[in-house]
Chains A and B, each alone.
With several copies, the nearest count.
Chain A
Amino acid sequence: MKYIVAIIRPHKLEDVKKELLKEEVHLMTITEVLGCGRQQGITEVYRGVKEVDNLLRKVKLEIAVNDSFVERTVDAIMRSSREGEIGDGKIFILDLEECIRIRTGERGGEAIG
């Protein structure tokens, strides 16, 4: 099992969810985060003093999947969230040792979906 962490642009969330659904990945956990990356932040101005902050609003998806789903998930995310410009985000894949469904106590591949 893998634990996929994807950082995407906030307004792409709907598209990504839709695309993931097509791949039958419909379980995930979403967090609003600030990304600090290559993408230049918009200079904010408060009373004339400029604040060059390179923190940008991003959305983080965490998706636990069985190994066979990894590529499909990654592809779906890439398809739906790419704009081709700096700031599109990243996908990180970590190894997931165990997954437990609280409701049933199921473990492993069973529990993931």
Chain B
Amino acid sequence: MDKIIAADVAWMLCASALVLMMTPALAFFYGGLVRRKNVLSIMMQCYVIMCAVGLMWILVGYSMAFGPDRYGVIGSMDWIFLRGVSIVPDSFYGTSIPHLLFMAFQMMFAIITPALMVGAFAERIRFSSFLFFIILWSLFIYNPVAHWVWANGGWLSKDGALDFAGGAVIHVNAGIAALVVSILLGKRDGLVFPKSPHNLPFAVFGAGFLFFGWFGFNAGSALGANGAAVVAFVTTAIASASAGLVWMFLDWFFNEVPTMLGVATGIVAGLVAITPAAGFVSPVAAIIIGAIGSLIGFFFVTKVKPFFGYDDSLDVFGVHGMCGIWGAIATGIFASKAYGSGSGLIDGNPIQVWIQCKAVIITILYSGIGTALLYFIADFIFGMRVSLREEHVGLDLTQHHESGYTLME
């Protein structure tokens, strides 16, 4: 029988709490970037996801994603309401920690993934439709993909895809969905040029605390206080430093000055890029992964988006989608037995790159098509977009009858 290791429990408690904390941090990262009249609507969406998706996870989500496998495609309903999920470790998932703790850690991932998408809906989505849509998305997009990649018996996992902390499952998945929704929702009205962020310090705070929480995210994915956790911790810190710096220099080169928002975005891009690779690669590889992630992110955010003109308001696709794709592929390149449990191109295993690409493509296809379908359903039933008038007045007042700040005492 598996035995609980108290030190792993200690670390995983902390890691789970850290990942939970990322959702409020994200609420500020996004909230600071929108116009003042929409700040609460963004935060509301993040917090409601924390509640609604969290609850769904307990009721059915965990069972769908990690429950006993059915045909490699989805978990069975055996674990709904957490039936049978107790403080005894599972024989497959986190064998040194209580099964409940593994479930809790995964709960935080299930929460943050749809929360990441929120940035693409900013300033124009109807709250009720959003809520309906996001629950469906969590159930029918996130849970299956998580099953494929991480569950015992999931078909992508059997295929050998490496995804340390959720490059495909989380970032590619959310990034593609964000792109789809932002295109379907259409552009915000009257934004000839992007309005400056209403409270950039909030976004700075968000980026800093996402960084902090990401240690739980990546190093926690080792599921214990072990060597893999340490490697993931170090590569996480390095990749984000390198990415932040590269973005700064790109800004300097292309826009004359280094910008705060650039550095903050770069840090997040680096964190995303290293996520699937965190426990598999060397610190030096982390520098490269972060740097290239930043390059790709910068290119998509500042060149590709303006070129195509879709309104991915807070660059969820550019940063999470593209850097997630890069990270997934980079894992196939840089994974090294010397640092983790996988081997990639540099270890003389080029096939891994292809396996990674497959996982990415499948995620893109499933997430892209599935999201579009769910969007049409939700749009048909409720209408996803607010009226022009509501958009002008702002979502805070129209969707929630609140304003972020008082103008007067």
List the interface of chain A (C-beta within 8 A of B): 9-11, 13-15, 30, 32, 34, 42-53, 55, 57, 59
Contact = CB atoms under 8 A, between A and B. Distances in A.
Interface of B: 190, 192-197, 251, 254-257, 259, 261-262, 265, 298, 301-303, 306, 315, 392-393, 397-398, 401-403, 407-409
Given A44-B403, A46-B402, 17 more contacts: A9-B392, A10-B409, A13-B408, A14-B192, A32-B407, A34-B408, A43-B401, A44-B402, A45-B255, A47-B194, A47-B262, A47-B265, A47-B315, A48-B251, A48-B302, A50-B193, A51-B194
Cβ-closest 6 pairs across A and B: A48-B302, A11-B392, A45-B255, A45-B401, A42-B397, A10-B409
A46 B196 contact: yes
B251 A10 contact: no
A44 B408 contact: no
A55 to B, nearest CB: 8
A55 B265 CA distance: 26
Contacts of B193: 49-52
Nearest to B401: A45
Question: Quick one: which of B303, B402, B408 has the most chain A CB within 10 A?
Answer: B408
B214 to A, nearest CB: 20
Contacts of B303: 48
A47 B316 CA distance: 13
Nearest to B254: A48
A13 B407 CA distance: 13
A16 to B, nearest CB: 12
Contacts of A44: 196, 397, 401-403
A11 B402 contact: no
A89 to B, nearest CB: 14
Given A42-B401, A45-B259, A34 B192 contact: no
Nearest to A41: B397
A30 B371 CA distance: 43
Contacts of A9: 392
B270 to A, nearest CB: 16
Contact of A47 (B302, B392, B393): B302
A10 B194 CA distance: 16
Contacts of B251: 45, 48
A57 B408 CA distance: 10
Contacts of A32: 407-409
11 contacts: A14-B190, A32-B407, A34-B407, A43-B401, A46-B197, A46-B261, A47-B315, A48-B303, A50-B193, A51-B193, A57-B407
